[in-house]
Amino acid sequence: MRAVIAEDSVLLRIGVVKVLEAAGFEVCAEVGDAAGLLAAVDEHRPDIAVTDVRMPPGFSDEGVRAALLIRSQHPETAVLLLSQYVEERYAADLLSANTAGVGYLLKQRVADVEEFAEAARRVAAGGTALDPQVVAQLLVRRHSDPLDRLTPRERVVLELMAGGRSNAGIAAELVVSDGAVSKHINNIFAKLDLPKADADHRRVLAVLRFLGVAEQ
């Protein structure tokens, strides 16, 4: 299997290269930033790209944005993200489309050579490798999602709101009274923690949360 490595820390990059080579990978390229990663994947078309989440120049989300681009432009290339900490937004972004050939591990896992090598092989072969701490964090986030508080009927009402329906349109669709729709919508606002405020349009905010655009 062929691999490309992107990591701005020279020492860690050398360590990852050594581990993968010992595991039977051919390391085609090793780079220190996201631009270099994208160029290397374009050139070598590796089986897997292993990348840090935060890299130059901004040290924010360059690595994960590159990984998402690779998944879009080269779906045959698996991606394995390495991070110093659990950054759930990045994990959710990477896993939202397709979990095949995707991995997200904390950098400390690299120290366990056999575990890391096995995870890389699994991801390169089309499997998934998620750090237990990443899984735990995503589960906590999911269980605390205010959308889970909605009843099935309230979710239907919110879906219709997201589709642009007015209260009268929702009432006609569900064959209920306008008053029943208003009651459902007020319940939705309460369960999504959207109190009355002149500066905010609660209907729009509720739809944005349903679509995953607004922060919880």
Model pLDDT for residues 56-98, shown as the tens digit of each residue: 888 888 898 899 899 989 999 999 999 887 776 667 777 766 6
136 pLDDT higher than 60? yes
Residues whose CB falls within 8 Å of the CB of residue 61, separated by 6 or more in sequence, listed in order: 53, 54, 90
**In the predicted model, what is the mean pLDDT of the chain?**
87
Residue 34 backbone dihedrals phi, psi, to 5 degrees: -65, -40
196 pLDDT higher than 80? no
| C-alpha to C-alpha distance for 188 and 203, rounded to whole angstroms | 9
Model pLDDT for residues 13-66, shown as the tens digit of each residue: 999 999 999 999 999 999 999 999 999 999 999 999 999 998 888 888 889 889
Terminal-to-terminal C-alpha distance of the chain: 41
Most confident range, picked from 63-72, 130-139, 141-150 = 63-72
Cis peptide before 46 (omega within 30 of 0): no
| C-alpha to C-alpha distance for 134 and 119, rounded to whole angstroms | 14
Spell out where the chain has E strands: 2-6, 26-31, 48-52, 78-83, 102-106, 128-130
* HSE of 27, CA atoms in CB hemisphere, 13 A: 20
Confidence of residue 143 (pLDDT cuts 50, 70, 90): low
DSSP string covering 175-194, please?
Answer: T--HHHHHHHHHHHHHHTT-
Confidence of residue 172 (pLDDT cuts 50, 70, 90): very high
pTM above 0.75, yes or no: no
